């Protein structure tokens, strides 16, 4: 079988890896120009297609039949060739419904706010309505298609129980963006974001910080792919396989971020973790030095701490956008909440809590080059490390022990 994903921007697609994990057919990418759909369909030989933006609606006119659910939504993301006919389906529907069910989001009798009015928005509306939602309201910048504007949504924020973002705002190209502030939404029971890269968008992180259950779109992507696979082959993908692919993909893409005092062993432990997990290791201080062409004391002398922090923030922003790394951060990286938020988007933060008695003042750390400075720094930063960490490693007596602890903790953290 030959199956493809078609769309205009596919360079960062995870679909080939997901379908390869199902192991049932060849699967490739076909990146088309916005005007290239007709030519592709006239000449291509395929058994099945996945369809992404901007062709989910356009492809309808090239199909011999459309599943009633996809027709009602008005968007197709899966095409199967069967008995010489091309039949369209919407497996995004099954992917989103599976994501919401897995998260424990019960929409029956609730009010649902959907950000966006595109094809995925229509899918989300169908899922909410079929789940028995009491009301479903969509939001757009202009208020078109009977949608609320963002200002109107914020004004009526107390009326909604669940929020689903179907816009690309906050995706990897602009991870600092957030489609809407959750500050006014005091009654939310859950937030779902269909964006899967980064793993946790700024919207998801804001929800979690406010104690609101929130999920990103990676599981939706895997579940819609599993539904497509079932249509391509005629055989369902077992639930345990779906969960295993989700877990494996998340573990592969999620970075390990080590935080802690200067001299706490982040570099040594990080290298060991990278070896154990098969990941690339990066030391953020080394990156700052490499890009500046100067040592940290030299940067401090020429630009002061503010200059160093600006360089550090730029390096961390770049590393945070990447996936699957082991990152040893500088001792002061967590002083800026923006650094912490960015690192959390694709990573988990582990605090190597080495006691003050085991730390040594070092000349290449200007803020802790004496014992007195080190003690003061420890007292000021320890609470910040604890607050920033997803997990704390208390036994750092040996690098191997700390590395093993981090590897074990990664498996325990709920995705």
Judgement on whether residues 259 and 402 belong to the same structural domain of the protein: yes
264 and 361 assigned to the same domain: yes
Look over the chain and give the mean of its residue pLDDT values, rounded to a whole number: 94
| Res. 414: pLDDT tops 70 | no
**Separation of CA 80 from chain center:** 29
- Boundaries of domain holding 39: 2-90+224-237
Residues 228 and 260 in one domain: no
Same domain, 205 and 116: yes
Residue 231 falls inside a structural domain: yes
* DSSP 3-state of 190: strand
In a domain, 68, yes or no: yes
Classify the phi-psi angles of 88: left when phi > 0, otherwise alpha if psi is within -120 to 50, otherwise beta.
beta
At 363 the pLDDT is 78
Question: How many other β-carbons are positioned within 10 Å of the β-carbon of residue 53?
Answer: 15
**CATH code for position 137:** 3.40.50.720
Positions marked catalytic: 56
Concatenated DSSP letters for 298-354? HHHHHHHHHHHHHHHHHHHHHHHHS-SEEEE--TTGGGSHHHHHHHHHHEEEEEE--
In-domain check, residue 186: yes
Looking at the structure, tell me whether residues 294 and 398 fall in a common domain. yes
In a domain, 245, yes or no: no
In a domain, 380, yes or no: yes
Q: What is the CATH number of the domain that holds 58?
A: 3.40.50.10860
CATH code at position 265: 3.40.50.300
Q: Is the pLDDT of residue 109 over 90?
A: yes
Choice among 67-71, 264-268, 361-365 with the minimum mean pLDDT: 361-365
User: Is 303 found in the same domain as 331?
Assistant: yes
Residue 381, in any domain of the structure: yes
Tell me, yes or no, whether 379 and 294 share the same domain.
yes
What pLDDT, in 10s, does the model give residues 330-360?
Answer: 999 999 999 999 999 999 999 999 999 998 8
pTM of the shown model: 0.91
pLDDT digits (tens, 9 = 90+) for 228-271: 999 999 999 999 999 999 999 999 999 999 999 999 999 999 99
- What pLDDT score does 196 carry? 94
Say whether pLDDT at 180 is over 70.
yes
Give the number of domains in the chain.
Answer: 3
Residue 219 lies in a domain: no
- For residue 135, what are the β-bridge partners? 111
Contacts of residue 203, defined as CB under 8 A and 6 or more positions apart, other chains included, come to 165, 169, 170, 178, 179, 180, 182, 191, 193, 214
Q: Are 165 and 194 in contact (CB under 8 A)?
A: yes
Do 14 and 162 lie in a common domain?
Answer: no
Distance, CA of 115 to CA of 317 (rounded, Å): 26
Predicted confidence at residue 415, as pLDDT, reads 55
In a domain, 324, yes or no: yes
Rounded-to-integer distance, Cα 406 and Cα 258, Å: 9
User: What CA–CA distance (Å, rounded) separates 408 from 413?
Assistant: 9
Instruction: Please name which of 102, 3, 108 lies closest in space to residue 47, comparing C-alpha atoms.
Output: 3
């Amino acid at each position: 079988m030959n199956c493809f994903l078609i769309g205009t921007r596919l360079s960062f697609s995870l679909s080939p890896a997901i379908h390869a994990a199902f192991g049932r057919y060849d699967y490739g990418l076909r990146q088309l120009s916005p005007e290239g759909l007709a030519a592709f369909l006239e000449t291509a030989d395929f058994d099945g297609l996945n369809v992404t933006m901007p062709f989910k609606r356009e492809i309808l006119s090239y199909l011999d039949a459309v599943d009633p659910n996809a027709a009602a939504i008005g968007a197709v993301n899966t095409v199967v060739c069967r008995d010489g006919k091309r039949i369209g389906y919407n497996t995004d529907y099954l992917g989103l419904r599976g994501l919401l069910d897995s998260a424990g989001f019960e929409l029956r009798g609730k009010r649902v706010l959907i950000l966006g009015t595109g094809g995925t928005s229509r899918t989300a509306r169908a899922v909410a309505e079929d789940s028995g939602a009491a009301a479903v309201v969509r939001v757009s910048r202009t208020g078109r298609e009977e949608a609320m504007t963002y200002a109107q949504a914020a004004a009526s924020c107390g009326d909604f129980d669940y929020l689903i973002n179907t816009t690309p705002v906050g995706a990897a190209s602009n991870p600092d963006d957030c489609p809407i502030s959750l500050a006014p939404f005091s009654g939310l029971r859950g937030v779902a974001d269909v964006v899967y890269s980064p793993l946790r968008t700024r919207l998801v992180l804001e929800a979690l910080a406010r104690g609101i259950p929130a999920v990103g779109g990676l599981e939706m992507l895997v579940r819609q792919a599993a539904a497509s696979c079932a249509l391509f082959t005629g055989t369902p993908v077992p639930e345990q396989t779906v969960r295993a692919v989700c877990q494996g993909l998340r573990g592969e893409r999620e970075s390990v971020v080590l935080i802690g005092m200067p001299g706490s062993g982040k570099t040594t432990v990080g290298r060991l973790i990278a070896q154990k997990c098969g990941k690339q290791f990066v030391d953020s201080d080394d990156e700052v030095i490499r890009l500046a062409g100067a040592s940290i004391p030299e940067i401090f002398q020429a630009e002061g701490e503010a200059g160093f922090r600006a360089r550090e923030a730029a390096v961390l922003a770049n590393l945070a956008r990447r996936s699957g790394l082991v990152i040893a951060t500088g001792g002061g990286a967590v002083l800026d909440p923006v650094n912490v938020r960015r690192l959390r988007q694709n990573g988990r933060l582990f605090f190597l809590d080495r006691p003050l008695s085991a730390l040594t003042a070092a000349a290449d750390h200007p803020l802790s080059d004496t014992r007195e400075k080190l003690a003061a720094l420890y007292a000021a930063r320890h609470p910040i490390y604890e607050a920033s960490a997803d997990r704390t490693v208390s036994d750092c007596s040996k690098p191997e022990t700390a590395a093993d602890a981090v590897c074990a903790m990664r498996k325990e953290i709920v995705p």
